Amino acid sequence: MAVRKPRPLARAALEFVNAANGLRPLARRGYSTVLVFWFGWPTSEVPGLYFSASLLDALRRGRRGDFAGRRGKAALAFTAASWAILAVIRYRGVTTPGPVLEGGLREQLGPDYNEELATLPTEPSRPTRVGRRNLPLRTTVARRRFVDKSNIVSYGPHGRANLADIWRRRDLPRDGKAPVLVQVPGGAWVIGWRRPQAYPLMGHLVSRGWICVSLNYRVSPLHTWPDHIVDVKRALAWVKENIADYGGDPDFVAITGGSAGGHLAALAALTPNDPKFQPGFEEADTSVAAAVPIYGRYDWFSTDGDGRREFIDLLEKFVVKKKFATHGDVYLDASPIREVRADAPPFFVLHGADDSLIPVGEAREFVEELRAVSKSPAAYAELPHAQHAFDIFGSPRAHQSAEAVARFLSWVYATSYLGRD
């Protein structure tokens, strides 16, 4: 049996390309962006894990003699260069998000919003101290900590597609009237699985005394638009009617989501009580107090621009299952950017500047439209060097984003109580 010959130079070159792709996406057009995202996304968020694995492997290969000779030395140089790139990625992920997030909030909420928070009634109970180390895998145990079997509920008639996890602290009283956040998962409208998305955000909020509801919804191609948004609306209606039994405040329900979930969260927030998305429960209250869409799609109708034609093709074939040319009204009605309104709730829109799946220009255009029409704040943070789905791993960027979202939602919650009673 032939022994496989080591190829240290090829292996090191692949490591270098992977690191470079994490530093900056190597493609932003066409279907190749999907592959670029899947390889670059973990590298851009958890470079320390890649470095540790690469270092251990390099030590093993060095003992084997892979770095001897001219080709071996070239391989070692490529490996060292990839480590340097990973160090840059790590440094940027720690240092760049905070000022951008804080700047986006101050621009819309005012320079003294943090001081205002200190004097207003916010969360109903004191926050529990949580570990400050941003360990990438620490969030994987968050659900076990905050969700037990009695807190897995069915909000609709469609079986597993209508299940939701209720995240709450065990010491939260059942009459606690805690503010509520509904989390809508992403997945290109074809996955929609509630686990393990937004764990850093939900873990952070629940530790502060909030309740979070993370839901599934019907997805394509088995189901067809607008089933997705109908389920989100049905979940909101269920939360308004039932969350008080778990210690939540039905009078303060906010919504968030990433990618397809960002689209659905924004659309739900901008179409409260719209009967076309509430068949059979038209009278239910589906309004929200605030919305935080993250790296979402806000335009389902434009065909010009990078990736737009491929996106419309996806919708036509798998999601809407109707031609845009003959059913343009369906695509327009599904576009949050077409639903902006003067009485929109406060928004905080987050997007990565290096998003290779959904160009950051979509977020900019959506925020511009919101600010031109809405009377409520429309905060925006464009995170430097961030890829799509930057908030899923327990990375420094994810945790800083979670803290900023918590400040925004706490400000909305606090100020909303000024007008009560």
Say whether 355 is catalytic: yes
Q: Look up residue 287 and give its two tokens.
A: 């309004």
Say whether 66 is catalytic: no
Q: Look up residue 124 and give its two tokens.
A: 């109903």
DSSP class per residue in 118-158:
HHS--SSSPPPP------TTGGGGHHHHH--GGGEEE-SSS
Choosing from 388, 395, 399, 410, which is the catalytic residue?
388
The CB density around residue 59, as the number of other CB atoms within 10 Å, is 10
By the 8 A CB rule, do 364 and 13 touch? no
Choosing from 82, 207, 214, 259, which is the catalytic residue?
259
Query: In degrees rounded to 5, what are phi and psi of residue 341?
Result: -150, 160
Say whether 374 is catalytic: no
DSSP class per residue in 76-102:
HHHHHHHHHHHHHHHHHHHHSHHHHHH
Distance CA 155, CA 39 (A): 36
By the 8 A CB rule, do 199 and 394 touch? yes
Determine the angle formed by the axes of helices 97-109 and 396-416, rounding to 10 degrees. Answer: 20
Q: Look up residue 20 and give its two tokens.
A: 């470079």
Choosing from 299, 333, 354, 355, which is the catalytic residue?
355
Closest of 228, 192, 235, 186 to residue 212, by C-alpha: 235
Tokens 């659905």 found at: 264
Distance CA 325, CA 313 (A): 12
- Supply the residues annotated as catalytic: 259, 355, 388
